[in-house]
């Protein structure tokens, strides 16, 4: 047995378990908060960025299995949160987090999860769990952490089966801002970290369906003066700010459900103005719906930082970060709207644009830097469209 494996071997009975709705049980060792949660279980293939992933509002209603085993080794810090608190309901890892070793670390992952009421489960065969998700689709689960190792499996199974899933759920209302605010913080840069934008910029209204902070930073770095509005903002409220462009953010849940109020707003702006518009992730799906397209639930979605996406116009392949369980049906796009990007993993749609106006969107997260800057041009393209 290797030293790494020996350090992870624990005596005594398990203190955490994962019960899938089909009756499959995985046992492990809990860290972070105690208790029981129910969620849709997905897997993420990223090797870094676990703090950003756990705080990405797009993960509302989900628990995350990390396929990379060394999660927690770089600790946590105050700068890497994408929103105020973790949104994902739990995390599942192969090995328990070790003591952090990174110059930016300000604490341990276990303590960070405990303080924020999120469960962690280590000591799990994440390869087997990932195969189950891949073959069967994202399962509904109940996850429990009890330091005494006492579990009512029948109750947990019932809890997993009671979970309604994400289809039909509007989760954007749960993670959006309560009121409008200005954003001027720019991307992190060595050696000073984050800086504030002080010069005038293009006036952009960003609709917050669950916006990640680094998306707003990228807009500010591209020369935008950003005002963020809640997901339920009306076209009248958007236009009252006299924007030069409108941005549609990422977010969680079923796009068709959020579209009940978001799509009419987007349609009204498209019908009554010629403003440039840019959408990411859920914002991409909202734009597609507003233009007459359709969305569909994926088997297990795309979650990771190694997704190759091809841009049709240039033939360029970008390595991107993705996090979505729904996708735009490219076959449903009407005349005047064309596909711009496609996933090289499965051929699913990753971008659209209107052929006669500066209105476009992408499924991937261009702010997340896995390439590391393959997709930053999209923010520059949006800024240039407002010139």
In angstroms, the CA 30 to CA 338 distance is 47
Domain count, the chain: 2
Q: Could you tell me the strand order of the sheet in which 337-343 lies?
A: 181-183, 224-230, 202-208, 245-248, 277-280, 359-362, 349-354, 337-343, 294-311, 317-329
pLDDT at 5: 41
Catalytic residue among 17, 218, 281, 350: 281
User: pTM to 2 decimals?
Assistant: 0.95
| Domain contains 167 | no
252-300 per-position pLDDT tens digit: 999 999 999 999 999 999 999 999 999 999 999 999 999 999 999 999 9
| Domain contains 112 | yes
Catalytic residue among 145, 284, 324, 365: 365
Which CATH number goes with the domain that contains 81? 3.50.30.20
Catalytic residue among 52, 82, 318, 367: 367
Residues 51 and 192 in one domain: no
188-246 per-position pLDDT tens digit: 988 889 999 999 999 999 999 999 999 999 999 999 999 999 999 999 999 999 999 99
Query: Residue 14, Cα to own-chain centre: how many angstroms?
Result: 30
**237 lies in which domain range?**
172-385
- Looking at residue 28, the DSSP 8-state letter turns out to be E
Q: Which of 144, 162, 180 is the last residue of a domain?
A: 162
Active-site annotation holds for 302? no
In angstroms, the CA 319 to CA 306 distance is 6
Q: Are 161 and 141 in contact (CB under 8 A)?
A: no
Active-site annotation holds for 154? no
Active-site annotation holds for 281? yes
In angstroms, the CA 81 to CA 281 distance is 19
Residues 275 and 346 in one domain: yes
């Amino acid at each position: 047995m290797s030293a790494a494996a020996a350090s992870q071997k624990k005596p005594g009975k398990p203190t955490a378990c994962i019960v899938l709705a089909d009756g499959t049980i995985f046992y492990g060792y809990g860290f972070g908060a105690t208790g029981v949660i129910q969620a849709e279980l997905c897997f993420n293939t990223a090797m870094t960025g676990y703090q950003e992933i756990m705080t990405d509002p797009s993960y509302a209603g989900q628990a995350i299995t990390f396929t990379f085993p060394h999660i927690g080794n770089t600790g946590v810090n105050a700068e890497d949160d994408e929103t105020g608190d973790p949104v994902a309901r739990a995390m599942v890892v192969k090995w328990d987090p070790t003591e952090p070793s990174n110059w930016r670390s300000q604490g341990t992952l276990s303590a960070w999860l405990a303080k924020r009421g999120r469960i962690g489960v280590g000591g799990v065969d994440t390869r087997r769990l990932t195969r189950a998700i891949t073959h069967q689709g994202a399962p509904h689960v109940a996850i429990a952490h009890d330091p005494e190792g006492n579990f009512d499996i029948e109750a947990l199974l019932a809890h997993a089966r009671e979970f309604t899933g994400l289809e039909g759920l509007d989760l954007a209302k749960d993670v959006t801002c309560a009121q409008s605010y200005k954003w001027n913080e720019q991307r992190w840069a060595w050696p000073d970290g984050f800086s504030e934008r002080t010069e005038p910029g293009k006036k952009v209204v960003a609709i917050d369906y669950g916006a990640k902070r680094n998306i707003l930073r990228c807009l500010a770095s591209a020369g935008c003066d950003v005002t963020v509005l809640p997901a339920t903002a009306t076209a009248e409220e958007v236009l009252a700010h006299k924007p030069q462009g409108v941005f549609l953010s990422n977010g969680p849940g079923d796009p068709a459900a959020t579209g009940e109020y978001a799509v009419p707003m987007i349609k009204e702006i498209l019908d009554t103005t010629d403003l440039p518009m840019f959408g990411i992730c859920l914002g991409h799906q909202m734009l597609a719906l507003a233009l007459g397209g359709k969305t569909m639930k994926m088997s297990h979605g795309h979650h990771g930082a190694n997704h190759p996406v091809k841009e049709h116009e240039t033939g360029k392949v970008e390595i991107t970060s993705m996090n979505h369980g729904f996708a735009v049906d490219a076959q449903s796009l009407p005349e005047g709207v064309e596909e711009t990007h496609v996933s090289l993993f499965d051929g699913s749609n990753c971008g659209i644009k209107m052929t006669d106006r500066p209105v476009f969107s992408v499924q991937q997260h261009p702010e997340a830097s896995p390439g590391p800057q393959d997709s930053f041009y999209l923010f520059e393209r949006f800024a240039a469209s407002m010139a």
